[in-house]
Structure 1
Amino acid sequence: MIKKWMKSSAIVLTTGAMLLAGCSSSTGNETNTGTNAGTNAGSNAEPVTIKVHTWYNLENEKFDVVKQEFEKKYPNIKVEFVSAGDNNANEHVKKVDLAAASGEDMDVIMFSSPAQYVQRLALGMLEPLDEYMNKEGLKFEDEYVVNTQENGKYYGLPGKSVNFFVAINEDHLKEAGLPIPTDWTWDEYLEYAKKMTKQGGEKKRYGTYFHTWTNPYAMLGLGNQPENAYLVTDDGKSANITNPIMRKSLEIRLQAERDESATPYSEVISQKLNYRPQYFNQDASMIATGTFFIPEVGGTEKVPATFKTVFAPYPKMNKEDPITTSVSSDFVTMYSKSMHKEEAYTFIRWFTTEGLVAQGRNIPSWKKANMEEVLDKIIAAAANPEMIDKESALNFLKNSVMFPTINPPGYSAEVEKIMQEEFDKMMLQGQDIDITMNTAQEKIQKLVDANQ
């Protein structure tokens, strides 16, 4: 889910210069609890309209429900959503950067990944929320699973909880005579992929699909590690490429190519394939993805689900390892130049707690939410609820040990660009795996050293 973003782009540099020249500080707001945080909600003041920028498809993700429920509770705060419209987080951040550079009004900005969050934070785009939280008496660790603190301050609150797991087409699983995995390794994952692959007949089908994102698909084995789960070590001092887990991650991708059990990487790149059509058109039988995918497999009125999806935990490196997954989130932040900071904070607190529950589309990072009730609501809201297997989803959620991710460094886009370039050479040009790892390690280490 980590998106590409280059410091050298003219847009971002322009944005950074404008923001650093004129960032304002928060004034704080007096609140009681997260769900009652408010400013003029009960007053006779003129309604204030806040602009909330997101990448979500507003209709599919039921932001009409969010707007309705929030404005019902806070009638003096109106919400205007600004969206890329197609669930494309890459396009969303481009538009946010352009909006900031051109001086457009923004109040709340959602980011899909830690990388996007820390990059804009470094440019001064985001307002620290600590003063608002302190006035509310909010203890972050009592409320949220994912820690969004950076440089000793909170610049955003976590939205939905994102855990990695595997979504599988139940029909393909039964056709291959395979049980739903409840505890498996990456080697077993590759065996499942081979057995569900169909190369003959009119329609070719691959057992799995790996998308183009560097994180997690070039570093699969790191995805459930409690420590040093990124391309740079947790202490920020070293590149983290030349290690057994990263080697295994690259070997998984190479093995799937040799087995012809994964959509060929050359096709993914040349045809600009996307994981959603690949899975929903049944061109691939399973994908490693995040819990944001659960509501999608239930279909919508416009695009109904045509097959049932079951869920398996994220694969392990070794048989004796515990069942683990990382847990991250998207980030709901306040724009540093917002003209309505108190109202923006009110929305952020409500949305990351009651709002996500009311929306009924995702599992929140809010600790006080009842997970089974939330899952029931997600399933019930789907156009085809019978296509979401609740039992296997609950098994994954209840039996996986979840490790919160650590925010990557602010220069993570450059780190991932280096890794992606070497990964592409390995996958497309036959570069040796040792050369791939050693070259990436050396280049990333130079970048780390330059940013110390």
Structure 2
Amino acid sequence: MLNKKRWVGLAVSTGLVAMSLSGCGFSDPDAGGKPEAGGASSKKTVKLKFWGAVPEESGPKQAVDNWNKAHPDIQVEYVRFVNDEAGNTKLETSLLAGGEVDLFVNYRMDKLVKRISANMVEPLDGYIVKDQFDVKDNFGDTAITKFNDKTYYIPAIILNDFVSINKSYLDEAKLPIPTEWTWDQYKEYAAKLTKGDGSSKRWGSFVGNLEPKIYEWMDKTVKTELGPNAFYKDEKTSNLDNPAFKSYLDTMVDMERNLKVQPPYAEAKTSKLQGTSLFLSGKTAMAWNGTAGIRSIKNTKDFPHDFVTAFAPTPKMTPTSKHIGGGSGYLDYVTINANSDKKDAAWQFLKWYVTEGNEPLISSGRVPAWKKVDKNKVASLVLGENPEKLFDVESFKRVVFADVQYVNDTQFKNLAEIQKIVDEEGERALIGDKTTAEAVSSMKKRADELLAKSK
């Protein structure tokens, strides 16, 4: 069961506290009886409001236009919100106001969990059963994490992190494109791909897209070994004494200070180095980024380059690590507002959108989670015309469409504070103020104290 004490109700700040969330109008499509007012069976045109954070011009407008042309009885309006704290607050306030939101996309699992706890999200199980919509056949066994034994969302995309590699540098070093590797093997590649000194030095590696963020990349890494909820043992105790956390810091220290194959943390942070810029200017041979980075590789106007980019999976901690880390997985969790009075129509649109409907978003790097999608078409849309000029297409398909086990977290207690602790203590290790052992010991102590006193 979800811990409803975690939810800080936005209703208090918006003056809507008097509204009873439990009376938000949950419907059971299998219960029979009269159709709901304004539902899909009404003869009048149903108008739905669909909220998402992707800019209209990046595909959502075309997707909605496609639906509206084919379904004159159900017309959808796309409403964009910005995926930051202010934007999410605006969405959640609107969820409580009747008629403002019928469907919406969640871009973080912790946000979705809070909304489920506050009864803002409609369970989909009844709709799934009624329409005999085979979730496993369409999305696989692990695409959906249930809460309270109920299905609240269907993912629209798979977001894959990967290592982009300059293929010219690979060929120069006579190295094959990795199909699976550990951090030890990654370090070997980084050493062989590093060349030169001073301002003209070519780095072998840059972990991180924008300037270094310790928690973000540690999180992605340790989950390959530890799986979901890697930072927690239980509600009151962190898992930061697990050897995986120290191992990640040891790897970064080794690459930066010993092997000197990656820009030192302090230099990267002070100079606000960006992995995409370093990679596309040829100043680093490998950069860890994600599907969204494809847009920059295609943008030869702002990032002029003539080399081919190859793709490798992100490194595992050990050869037996079975997961793909926190930077990869199912995303764009599409849900129905429990307060909507047009849920039947909203379900019809949701079902279409998460299968064939979100095709217009593919070219901006949003790879569908739908297992029946045409993979060759997806590759063509993501990589653009004449992709062989800029991409090693086969390695792209191998990484993006890999049959792997993704990680979905369900525990987020004091996550923002734990992230701050990890960043602070991890920075001390990377700049040499503490050993990695001292840093993770401090992380553990501070996180446990925080969790113990938190309700």
Match of 2:416 among 413, 437, 443: 413
Q: Is the aligned partner of 1:433 residue 2:436?
A: yes
Match of 1:443 among 438, 441, 446: 446
1:115 alignment partner in structure 2? 110
Pairwise CA distance, 1:130:
3.2
Pairwise CA distance, 1:181:
1.5
C-alpha separation between the residues in 2 aligned to 1:19 and 1:296?
A: 46
2:368 alignment partner in structure 1? 364
Q: Is the aligned partner of 1:166 residue 2:170?
A: no
C-alpha separation between the residues in 1 aligned to 2:264 and 2:8?
A: 31
1:341 alignment partner in structure 2? 343
CA RMSD of aligned residues (A): 3.8
* Other structure's SS at 1:225 match: helix
Q: 1:410 to 1:43 in 2, by over 3 A?
A: same
C-alpha separation between the residues in 2 aligned to 1:228 and 1:240?
A: 12
The structure that has the greater radius of gyration is: 2
Assess if the C-alpha contact under 8 Å between 2:162 and 2:313 holds in 1: yes
C-alpha separation between the residues in 2 aligned to 1:339 and 1:282?
A: 54
1:354 alignment partner in structure 2? 356
C-alpha separation between the residues in 1 aligned to 2:349 and 2:373?
A: 18
C-alpha separation between the residues in 1 aligned to 2:163 and 2:229?
A: 19
What does residue range 76-155 of structure 1 map to in structure 2 within 5 Å?
A: 76-84=74-82, 89=83, 91=84, 93-101=85-93, 105-145=100-140, 146-155=143-152
Letter in 2 for 1:363: V
Q: 1:11 to 1:209 in 2, by over 3 A?
A: farther
C-alpha separation between the residues in 2 aligned to 1:66 and 1:302?
A: 28
C-alpha separation between the residues in 2 aligned to 1:302 and 1:239?
A: 46
Pairwise CA distance, 1:226:
6.1
C-alpha separation between the residues in 1 aligned to 2:146 and 2:401?
A: 26
Assess if the C-alpha contact under 8 Å between 2:125 and 2:151 holds in 1: yes
Assess if the C-alpha contact under 8 Å between 1:418 and 1:444 holds in 2: yes
Give me the identity figure in percent: 24
What does residue range 288-303 of structure 1 map to in structure 2 within 5 Å?
A: 288-290=288-290, 292-293=291-292, 295-296=294-295, 299=298
Q: Count residues in correspondence.
A: 427
Q: 1:244 to 1:118 in 2, by over 3 A?
A: same
C-alpha separation between the residues in 1 aligned to 2:15 and 2:229?
A: 29
Letter in 2 for 1:367: K
Letter in 1 for 2:266: S
Assess if the C-alpha contact under 8 Å between 2:7 and 2:117 holds in 1: no
What does residue range 17-416 of structure 1 map to in structure 2 within 5 Å?
A: 18=17, 21-22=20-21, 24-28=24-28, 44-54=43-53, 56-59=54-57, 61-75=58-72, 76-84=74-82, 89=83, 91=84, 93-101=85-93, 105-145=100-140, 146-198=143-195, 200=197, 205-211=202-208, 212-213=212-213, 216-225=216-225, 227=227, 230-233=230-233, 238-258=237-257, 259-290=259-290, 292-293=291-292, 295-296=294-295, 299=298, 306=305, 307-318=307-318, 320-321=319-320, 325-326=324-325, 328-330=329-331, 331-338=333-340, 340-357=342-359, 359-361=361-363, 362-379=366-383, 381=384, 386-396=389-399, 401-416=404-419
1:4 alignment partner in structure 2? none
Q: Residue by residue, what CA displacement relative to the aligned partner does 1:84-124 show, whole Å, maximum 9, x if unpaired?
A: 3xxxx4x3x43121343477733333233323322443444
Pairwise CA distance, 1:157:
1.4
Letter in 1 for 2:255: A
Q: Residue by residue, what CA displacement relative to the aligned partner does 1:410-443 show, whole Å, maximum 9, x if unpaired?
A: 5433332332232233234622212221222233
Assess if the C-alpha contact under 8 Å between 1:357 and 1:364 holds in 2: yes
Letter in 2 for 1:387: L
C-alpha separation between the residues in 2 aligned to 1:207 and 1:19?
A: 58
Letter in 1 for 2:349: F
Assess if the C-alpha contact under 8 Å between 2:238 and 2:444 holds in 1: yes
Structure 1 unaligned blocks of 5 or more? 1-6, 31-38
* Other structure's SS at 2:155 match: strand
Assess if the C-alpha contact under 8 Å between 2:205 and 2:285 holds in 1: yes
Pairwise CA distance, 1:373:
4.6
Structure 2 unaligned blocks of 5 or more? 1-5, 31-37
Assess if the C-alpha contact under 8 Å between 1:19 and 1:125 holds in 2: no
C-alpha separation between the residues in 2 aligned to 1:8 and 1:214?
A: 27
Q: Residue by residue, what CA displacement relative to the aligned partner does 1:211-252 show, whole Å, maximum 9, x if unpaired?
A: 34555412454232364562114x656422212222211111
C-alpha separation between the residues in 2 aligned to 1:215 and 1:128?
A: 33
Letter in 1 for 2:26: S
C-alpha separation between the residues in 1 aligned to 2:114 and 2:187?
A: 35
Pairwise CA distance, 1:311:
0.9
Letter in 2 for 1:63: P
* Other structure's SS at 1:50 match: strand
Pairwise CA distance, 1:179:
2.4
Assess if the C-alpha contact under 8 Å between 2:224 and 2:321 holds in 1: no
* Other structure's SS at 1:150 match: coil
C-alpha separation between the residues in 2 aligned to 1:410 and 1:359?
A: 33
Pairwise CA distance, 1:139:
4.6
C-alpha separation between the residues in 2 aligned to 1:10 and 1:25?
A: 19
Letter in 2 for 1:366: W
1:33 alignment partner in structure 2? none
C-alpha separation between the residues in 2 aligned to 1:301 and 1:48?
A: 41
Assess if the C-alpha contact under 8 Å between 1:222 and 1:245 holds in 2: yes
| Higher mean displacement: 346-355 or 107-116 | 107-116
Q: 1:201 to 1:407 in 2, by over 3 A?
A: same
Q: 1:300 to 1:135 in 2, by over 3 A?
A: farther
Assess if the C-alpha contact under 8 Å between 1:222 and 1:246 holds in 2: yes
TM-score (norm 2): 0.78
Pairwise CA distance, 1:324:
5.1
